Amino acid sequence: MHSFDVLIIGAGPAGIAAAIAARKSGVKVGVVDDNLTAGGQIWRGAVPRKWTDAFLNSGTHLLAGTRIFDAPQQGLLLAKTLESLIELRYERLILATGARELFLPFPGWTLPNIMGAGGLQAMVKGGLDIAGKRVVVAGSGPLLIAVAASLHKHGAKLQAIVEQAFLSSQTRFAASILSQPSKAWQGAKLLWTLHGVPMRHGAYPVRAEGDGRVRSVTLSNGAKVDCDYLACGFGLVPNTELASLLGCRLNGHFVEADEAQQTSVASVYAAGEITGIGGLEKSLVEGTIAAYRATGNLAAARSLDRQRKTTHTFQRTMDVAFALRPELFKLANEATKVCRCEDVTLGALEPFNSWREAKLHTRCGMGPCQGRICGPILRGVKGWRDEGVRPPIFPVDVAALVQTSGVQAR
Ligand SMILES: Cc1cc2nc3c(=O)[nH]c(=O)nc-3n(C[C@H](O)[C@H](O)[C@H](O)COP(=O)(O)OP(=O)(O)OC[C@H]3O[C@@H](n4cnc5c(N)ncnc54)[C@H](O)[C@@H]3O)c2cc1C
C-alpha cells in the first residue's frame, strides 16, 4: 500500500506540471501512469529537458506501468502493476487522465494498416519503419498536421492530408491564432515542412479497399488515393471513466471543473484534456493550478488565471473550427464493424434501442477496450447515451478481482 498527500493520475503534461507544482509545498506526491515512462501522448517518454529536470528533481514518486482500475472508497484507489495489485491512499487527488483518438467507421476502416493518426505516429516513434511508405493522413483537427509533419520527417511519402472541416473554417482558425505568436509560428513551421503535400479540405474517407491490408482510400470528393497506410483520427475523446467512477459531474463529455480545477467531488481536481481538448499549454497550466489549489497555494494559482483563460479561448476556437460534420456519422453500412473487439456490425445492432440492450445481446463494447472505441462511435452514429461506468474500468485478471473484494470487505 502507498499513501500520498497529493496523488496524480496521469503522467502526461498536466500530471507532470501538477507534480512539480505540488512538490513546492513539500508534501508527499505520487504520480501514476499506465505507461512505462512519463510523458503522456505528446511526449511519450521524450519529455523536454526543462520539464524532465524539474520533474526528476522534484522528489515525486513515479509509479509507472501502473493502471488504476477501481475506486472502492473515498481516499482509496486500486491499481494493477505488471506484477501485482496495489492500494493507493490519498488526501487530495488530481485527475490528469488525458484523451484518446476518436475513430469513425466507414466501409473498410478495420483493414490492417489503417490506424489512428496519433497511433501511427506513436508506432513510428516506437520504431516502425515508415520510410518510403505511401501514407494518407485523414480526419480532423490540428493533430493531423503534427502527425503528417512527423511522418514526413521519418521519410513517409505523404499522398494527401484530408481534413473534413472546410477551408473557410480553417482560415478563420488560422486568423484567430495570429494573436498567439508562439502557436502561429509553430503552425507555420509545420505547414512549411509540408509544402508540396496535397491538402484536401472539406473531404473525408468514405471507403477503404485492400487485400490483407489497405491499398487505397476513396474520399468524399470522389478521388481514390493509393496508399500503404491510412492514418485516420477525428479528434480526441477524454478519458473520463475514472472521474465518473469517483462521482465527478460531467459537462457534456468532459469532466466539469471550476477555475480552481476543482471537480464536483471534494478534494478531487481535474486538469488537461479531460476538462476540454485544448492542447499542450492548457494541460500544463491546468495541472499547475490544480496542484497549487490542492496544496493551498492560492496566490500562485490565481497568478495563472489569465494564462488559463487564453488556453480556454483557444479550446473554444478549435471546437468551432473542427466541429464534425453530421455526414461523418452516416458512412458505415450494415456490414461495417462498429465494435472491432467483438466483431459486431452496424447491421447486428439494428434490433436494439440502447447501448445496454446492444451489450447484452451482442457483446458490443464488452471486449478488451471496454467500449472506449465503439462507445463514442455509437454516441454519434446511433445517438446512444453512455450508461454509467462500473469497476473494473480496465480489464483485470480474476485474481485481482478476488483481492479487490478483500479490500472492500476490510
Ligand atoms: C494518440 C495521441 C497523440 C497525440 N499527439 C500529439 C502531438 O503529436 N502533438 C500535439 O500537440 N498533441 C498531441 N496530442 C494531444 C496531446 O495529448 C495533448 O495536447 C496533451 O498531451 C494532453 O496532455 P494531458 O496531460 O492532458 O494528457 P495525456 O498526455 O493524454 O496524459 C494522460 C496520461 O494518463 C494515463 N492514464 C489515463 N488513465 C489512466 C489510469 N486509469 N491509470 C493510469 N494511467 C492512466 C494515460 O496513459 C496518459 O499517459 C495527441 C493525443 C493523442 C490521443
Q: What percent of the chain stands above pLDDT 90?
A: 86
> Domain spans of the chain?
2-99+237-318, 105-233, 327-410
| Model confidence at 356: pLDDT above 60 | yes
Tens digits of residue pLDDT in 84-98: 899 999 999 999 999
Instruction: Report the pLDDT averaged over residues 396-403.
Output: 80
The pLDDT value given to residue 179: 79
Instruction: Report the pLDDT averaged over residues 276-287.
Output: 96
Q: What is the CATH number of domain 2-99+237-318?
A: 3.50.50.60
Architecture of domain 105-233: 3-Layer(bba) Sandwich (3.50)
Instruction: Report the pLDDT averaged over residues 367-392.
Output: 91
Which residue's alpha carbon is nearest to atom 38 within ligand 1? 97
98 lines ligand 1 (CB under 6 A): yes
Rounded distance from Cα 189 to ligand 1 centre (Å): 23
| Model confidence at 409: pLDDT above 70 | no
Grid cell 471534494 — which residue? Answer: 266
The pLDDT value given to residue 289: 98
Alpha carbons 338 and 236: distance in angstroms, whole number: 18
Which residue's alpha carbon is nearest to atom 14 within ligand 1? 42
The pLDDT value given to residue 406: 65
Q: Hey, which of 8, 42, 86, 389 would you mutate to test ligand 1's pocket, going by the most ligand atoms within 8 Å of its Cβ?
A: 42
pTM score of the predicted model = 0.95
| Model confidence at 160: pLDDT above 60 | yes
The pLDDT value given to residue 279: 93
Is 2-99+237-318's fold the same as 105-233's?
A: yes
40 lines ligand 1 (CB under 6 A): yes
Tens digits of residue pLDDT in 36-77: 999 999 998 788 999 999 999 999 999 999 999 999 999 999
